[in-house]
Structure 1
Amino acid sequence: MTISTLSRSTMPSRRLGLGITLGIITLLTCSSPALAHHPLDGRLPANAFEGFMSGMGHPVIGIDHLAFVIAAGLVAALMRKGAMVPILFVLGSLAGTGIHLQALDLPAPEAFISTSVLAFGLILARGSQTNVWLISLLGAVSGMFHGYAYGEAIVGAEMTPTISYLLGFVSIQLAISLAAWAIGRALQKKNQSQGLLNLRFAGFVLSGMGAVFLSSVVLG
């Protein structure tokens, strides 16, 4: 195989990796942190539809939440049985919302949320195999803090919109994170070295965003 042939064979993978990175940046920069905890402008959902749409919107319009949902899926692509990472993250977020609805407190949730983005970005940037159970546990713990923040938008709502809200944020988080996982796996399957390089680059982008989020929390 000639050098020119090798170059042509890696071009689609590079383009796909660049597209993923640009897509991450576009999604995150289009999200609005000001609305992160108030998908309905602070108004409680009044019915099942509003509850579901509020649940769907919360992890997407919150830039820090969306960054972690994407990071969880891409990190999962680095390891075997990695789909457990986003699944346990989502289960953890359900637990975190339950904690909030029970009027219990978690310490410094915004700091932990920002740290989770930074940590998973660094894990992705490292680009090496990591114990899937350890990462899944970290994902579940991180999910508790993300879910705790989600709970703010539903405290005081009736049972029907509350259940719909939970279904909404479970659905959107699973869809985004599992899609990121599938894309990451496809990248590596097509070209292992180039695919891994693309994932690592995405990790540097996400870790940089996590550092910015954490700085804004610490500096107030």
Structure 2
Amino acid sequence: MISASTKRSTLAAILLLAAAMPAEAHVGAGAISSFAAGFGHPLSGLDHMTVMIAVGLWAALKGGKAVWVWPLAFLGVMLVGAALGMLHVPLPFVEPGILASVVALGLLVALAVDLPVSAGVAFIGVFALFHGHAHGTEVPENAGGLEYMAGFAAATALLHGLGIAAGLRLGLRFRSMARAAGAACAAVGVGLAFGVL
């Protein structure tokens, strides 16, 4: 049986995905052909930083295999999305999906939603596809674009690692602090959706 908190967080994520306005945070975002530019991009925006750290926090709260499976799933699916974007394969709702990811992953951490590892992979994978696609459509289809995505993936892994480290460090004793960070992530997503941030 699905708990009430899981139902609420799933409903909130669906509603926000349907209602979110495009962030337009990705098109024309500066240099897109070097490893350094790719590495710097996730560190330059609240949407990227909060989602990547939230994935790590949520994985740490879950524990076990999720600590490494969920971040790797995000990275892998993000790179698939980037390849689709580079090949100009259309994907609907990319920008609203990115905004919804900030809110939904924040809520998952804030509510400490305990999904099975495979369900978490599926949930994370959907959002990773949007993040990857947004950046894949921006980069050139050459070695410079591949360098950019390699840098982007490295920074994403670093941010996941920071989230995991923070979550594990806070541990059970300070679990409420990790959950508060999730709530802050969700608030950032709402602020971005409504143009406040």
Could you state the TM-score of these two structures normalised by the residue count of structure 1? 0.71
What is the rounded CA distance, in whole Å, between the counterparts of 2:161 and 2:44 in structure 1? 18
8 Å Cα contact 1:35-1:61 kept in structure 2:
no
Unaligned runs of 5+ in 1: 1-32, 46-50
Alpha-carbon separation, structure 1, partners of 2:86 and 2:113:
38
Offset at residue 125 of structure 1 (A) = 0.7
CA deviation string 1:43-67 (max 9, x = no partner): 552xxxxx10121122221321221
Match of 2:83 among 90, 95, 98: 98
For the 8 Å contact 2:53–2:160, the answer to whether it is kept is: yes
Is 1:113 aligned to residue 98 of structure 2? yes
Establish whether residue 59 from structure 1 lines up as the match of residue 42 from structure 2: yes
TM-score (norm 2): 0.79
Question: For 1:60 and 1:153, how far apart are their aligned partners in 2?
Answer: 17
Q: 1:81 aligns with which of 61, 65, 86?
A: 65
Q: Which of 165, 170, 186 is the equivalent residue of 1:182?
A: 165
Equivalent residue, structure 2, for 1:11: none
The verdict on how the C-alpha distance between 1:38 and 1:59 changes in structure 2, with shifts beyond 3 A counting, is farther
Question: Mapping of 1:1-220 within 5 angstroms?
Answer: 36-39=26-29, 41=30, 43-45=31-33, 51-79=34-62, 80-82=64-66, 83-154=68-139, 156-157=140-141, 159-188=142-171, 192=172, 194-216=173-195
Structure-2 separation of matches of 1:130 and 1:208: 22
Match of 2:6 in 1: none
Deviation at 1:168, TM superposition (A): 0.6
Between the two proteins, the alignment pairs up a number of residues equal to 172
State the secondary structure of the residue aligned to 1:105. coil
Q: CA deviation at 1:35?
A: 6.9
Q: What stretches of structure 2 of length at least 5 have no aligned partner?
A: 1-22
In 1, are the aligned partners of 2:94 and 2:133 still within 8 Å (CA)? yes
Q: Which structure's relative contact order is higher, taking Cα pairs within 8 Å and 6+ residues apart? A: 2
User: 1:44, 1:90 → 2: CA distance?
Assistant: 19
The amino acid of 2:117's aligned partner reads: V
Q: Map Cα deviations across residues 13-69 of structure 1 (whole Å, 9 max, x no partner).
A: xxxxxxxxxxxxxxxxxxxx8874445x3x552xxxxx1012112222132122111
Larger radius of gyration: 1
% identical equivalent positions: 28
